[in-house]
C-alpha cells in the first residue's frame, strides 16, 4: 500500500516515577483512561458510527519525502474504511471486514491475506482503537507506568496489554488528559529485529462533541514515515454500502 492507513526522537524524558504495586497501578491506569475517554467526548467518542475526513498525507522513506496526496477518507466503525487519493481519485483503498482492495487505473486488486493480517494487527494496536474498543477486553490488563517530561509537557504513561501480552504505551497530557503519543514494539516477522512504532497526536479540535487530533505523525525506530494533516471532519453521516464495495470492472 502506498500510504499507511489513517485512523501512525522528539522528546527529552525525565526519569519515570517508581511504579506502584500491581493493584494500585491498575486502579491508577483505569482512572486515567476514564479521564482520557471523557476528554475525547465520552459517550459521543465511544458511540461513533461513521466519519468522513479530508486532508493531506505525506509518506517518507529514509528521511526523504517519498509521496504526498490529498485524501478523502470514509469510515464506518469498526471495520469498514475507504480512502480516495488525489483530486481525481487516482487510487482508492477499501477495507470491508476481513477483505480489502486497491483500485487504480489498472483495475481492482484484492489485498492478500498477509496484507490484511498486517493491517488488522496494526489497526488493533492504534491508541484510539484501543480507547474506543479494547479497554476491558477479555485477557487484557492495564498498568500505570509512571510520569515523564515529553516535549516540555508533563505526561502520565499508561500501558495496555492484550491477551497475547502485546503492549502499547500511551502518553497522556496531565493537564488536558488527551493522548499525545503511543508506542508499541514488535518484531519483524522475517528477521525478528526489534521495531519501535510511534504515533504522535497534536492540534486537537472538537466537532459534534468528539475531540480528535488534526495532526498525526508516525515514526519507525525514530524515523518519520508518515504524516497527516486533517482539514475537515464530519461524524455520524449516512454512508452508502457502495463506498465499501469494490467496483465491478
Confirm whether 193 is domain-assigned.
yes
pLDDT digit string, tens, across residues 10-37: 222 233 334 445 689 999 999 999 999 9
CA-nearest of 112, 110, 89 to 101 is 110
Confirm whether 188 is domain-assigned.
yes
- 172 half-sphere exposure, CB direction, 13 A CA radius: 30
Residues 198-208: what's their mean pLDDT? 97
Residue 10 to residue 151: CA distance in whole angstroms? 7
| CATH classification at residue 239 | 2.50.20.10
According to the model, what pLDDT value does residue 248 have?
82
Residue 7 pLDDT class (50, 70, 90 cuts) = very low
Query: Which has the minimum average pLDDT: 4-8, 52-56, 111-115, 170-174?
Result: 4-8
Confirm whether 249 is domain-assigned.
no
Confirm whether 90 is domain-assigned.
yes
pTM of the model: 0.87
H or E stretch covering 220:
strand 210-220
According to the model, what pLDDT value does residue 93 have?
97
pLDDT digit string, tens, across residues 61-80: 988 999 999 999 999 999 99
Residue 74 to residue 94: CA distance in whole angstroms? 9
Confirm whether 13 is domain-assigned.
no
- Give backbone dihedrals phi and psi of 131, rounded to 5 degrees, phi first: -65, -30
pLDDT digit string, tens, across residues 125-139: 999 999 999 999 999
User: What is the pairing mode between strands 99-104 and 80-85?
Assistant: unpaired
pLDDT digit string, tens, across residues 140-191: 999 999 999 999 999 999 999 999 999 999 999 999 999 999 999 998 888 9
According to the model, what pLDDT value does residue 9 have?
28
Residue 91 reports pLDDT greater than 50: yes
Residue 200 reports pLDDT greater than 80: yes
Confirm whether 1 is domain-assigned.
no
- 190 half-sphere exposure, CB direction, 13 A CA radius: 1
According to the model, what pLDDT value does residue 92 have?
97
Joined grid coordinates for residue 102:
486497491
Confirm whether 127 is domain-assigned.
yes
According to the model, what pLDDT value does residue 21 have?
55
| C-alpha torsion 157→174→213→210, nearest 10 | 110
CA-nearest of 171, 182, 117 to 148 is 171
Average pLDDT value over all residues in the chain: 90
Which residues form the domain of 102? 22-244
Total structural domains in the chain? 1
The pLDDT > 90 percentage for the chain reads: 85
Three-state DSSP at 104 gives: strand
Confirm whether 51 is domain-assigned.
yes
According to the model, what pLDDT value does residue 22 have?
65
According to the model, what pLDDT value does residue 222 have?
95
Contact 204, 178 (CB under 8 A): yes
CA-nearest of 116, 77, 83 to 2 is 83
Amino acid at each position: 500500500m502506498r500510504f499507511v492507513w489513517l485512523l501512525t526522537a522528539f522528546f527529552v524524558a525525565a526519569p519515570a516515577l517508581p511504579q506502584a504495586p500491581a493493584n494500585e497501578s491498575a486502579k491508577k491506569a483505569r482512572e486515567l483512561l476514564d479521564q482520557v475517554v471523557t476528554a475525547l467526548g465520552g459517550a459521543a467518542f465511544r458511540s461513533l458510527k461513521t466519519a468522513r475526513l479530508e486532508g493531506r498525507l505525506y509518506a517518507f522513506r529514509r528521511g526523504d519525502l517519498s509521496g504526498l496526496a490529498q485524501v478523502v477518507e470514509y469510515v464506518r466503525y469498526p471495520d469498514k474504511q475507504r480512502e480516495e487519493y488525489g483530486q481525481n481519485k487516482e487510487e482508492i483503498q477499501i477495507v470491508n471486514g476481513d477483505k480489502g482492495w486497491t483500485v487504480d487505473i489498472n483495475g481492482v486488486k484484492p489485498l492478500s491475506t498477509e496484507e490484511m493480517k498486517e493491517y488488522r494487527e496494526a489497526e488493533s494496536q492504534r491508541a484510539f482503537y484501543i480507547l474506543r474498543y479494547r479497554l476491558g477486553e477479555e485477557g487484557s490488563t492495564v498498568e500505570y507506568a509512571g510520569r515523564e517530561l515529553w516535549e516540555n509537557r508533563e505526561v502520565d504513561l499508561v500501558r495496555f496489554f492484550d491477551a497475547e501480552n502485546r503492549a502499547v504505551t500511551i502518553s497522556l497530557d496531565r493537564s488536558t488528559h488527551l493522548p499525545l503519543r503511543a508506542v508499541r514494539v514488535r518484531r519483524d516477522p522475517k528477521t525478528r529485529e526489534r521495531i519501535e512504532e510511534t504515533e504522535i497526536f497534536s492540534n486537537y479540535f472538537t466537532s459534534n462533541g468528539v475531540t480528535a487530533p488534526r495532526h498525526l505523525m508516525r515514526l519507525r525506530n525514530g524515523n518519520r514515515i508518515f504524516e497527516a494533516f486533517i482539514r475537515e471532519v464530519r461524524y455520524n453521516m449516512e454512508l452508502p454500502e457502495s463506498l465499501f464495495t469494490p467496483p465491478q470492472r
